[in-house]
């Protein structure tokens, strides 16, 4: 099941299973069923919310 998340007007999708997650400051890179995606976030609060959605 593909799930989506909208932040700052941009929509991101995840297609489980998530196999890798890398975090560097406010950038998150993850690999899912469809490949690798890079997400740049504005602050640590957005990063935490995004990571919670990503792994849930």
pLDDT band (50, 70, 90) for residue 8:
confident
Instruction: Give the list of residues 6+ apart from residue 37 with CB closer than 8 angstroms, or none.
Output: 12, 13, 29, 30, 31
Can you tell me the mean pLDDT for 27-48? 95
The whole-number pLDDT of residue 7 equals 86
- Whether 21 contacts 27, CB under 8 Å: no
Secondary structure E strands in 1-56: 3-7, 10-14, 20-24, 27-32, 35-40
Is the pTM of the predicted complex or chain greater than 0.75?
yes
């Amino acid at each position: 099941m593909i799930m989506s998340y909208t932040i700052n007007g941009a929509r991101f999708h995840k297609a489980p299973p998530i196999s890798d997650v890398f975090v560097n400051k406010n950038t998150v890179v993850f690999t899912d069923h469809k490949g690798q995606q890079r997400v740049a976030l504005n602050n640590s609060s957005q990063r935490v919310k995004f990571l919670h959605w990503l792994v849930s």
